[in-house]
Amino acid sequence: MALDHGAIGVESAPLDRSWTSKDALLYAVGVGAGIDDPLHELAFTTENTGGVAQQVLPTYAVLLAQVPGARRIGDFDPAMLVHAEQAFELHRPLPAEGTVRATSKVTGIYDKGKGALVVTESTAVDPDSGEPVITSRGSAFIRGEGGFGGDRGPRDEWAVPDRKPDHQVTYGTRPEQALLYRLSGDRNPLHSDPAFAARAGFDRPILHGLCTYGVTGRALLHTLAGSDPARFASMSGRFSSPVLPGESLTVSIWADGDTALFRTTKDDGTVVIDRGRATLR
């Protein structure tokens, strides 16, 4: 089995991605909105609360910019693939329902020795005006596909600030969180099928990395942006350890004006999202 390096730089055909008010509400519940206090995030979990207009969580942008099956990158065991990094820039707030036109391309395949890191970039634009709405960048680590003698890729000089976090926020997840989140589109059996999870080396299905990312995004939105999606410009982070549904997540935030560094950990201190960055408007 080998990866197709000819896929690098080839842009996919455009794909229109539409969503409804219900889709946005389901996503919000899928990343834990309202889990601790059902009355706390009504702008994101309801569409008919008096005096409260529905809004969309910024991290939903990552799902809307995806182009499923944009280009095959070779033959490999899908159980060996894990989401490694995710970043996005939101050029304007997402409406409660709408359509974007998305394209995607592989921007690099890097040799990490025990595996390969495949980096992709997706762009979603307004289908009528062509104006950008979302820019999304992600990477997947595929175990067993490294060692081909290629470039190891760029280094990130992110470091934990030499001071205590300015904010620490803890959110819970539900035991059935992965079953809720998968209804927003990611039906990877790694998160629901015990036998498939065992093939990947896990005792039980794990939580989607992008669900952990969404929980973290909620913490950043409410803590730094006053719960206003219009102020949320970008977010990035590296997935460093799996989360089991039902575990709590603590987001430590070091703020510096309109930028912030963050790290997400479990109760035992295990880092699950590292090298986090966020920017505000």
| pLDDT tens per residue across span 74-119 | 778 777 888 899 999 999 999 999 999 999 999 999 999 888 999 9
The number of CA neighbours under 13 Å toward the Cβ of 268 is 7
Residue 12 has pLDDT above 60, yes or no: yes
What CATH number has the domain bearing residue 154?
3.10.129.10
- In this prediction, residue 7 carries a pLDDT of 85
Calculate mean pLDDT across residues 209-238.
98
- In this prediction, residue 71 carries a pLDDT of 54
**What's the number of domains the chain is made of?**
1
Confidence of residue 143 (pLDDT cuts 50, 70, 90): confident
- In this prediction, residue 137 carries a pLDDT of 97
Name the average pLDDT for the chain: 94
- Tens-digit pLDDT profile for residues 145-167: 888 878 788 888 899 999 999 99
- In this prediction, residue 1 carries a pLDDT of 52
Residue 212 has pLDDT above 60, yes or no: yes
- In this prediction, residue 151 carries a pLDDT of 79
- In this prediction, residue 153 carries a pLDDT of 82
Calculate mean pLDDT across residues 276-281.
98
Active-site residue numbers? 186, 191
Calculate mean pLDDT across residues 187-214.
95
Supply the range of the domain harboring residue 134: 5-280
More confident residue, 126 or 78: 126
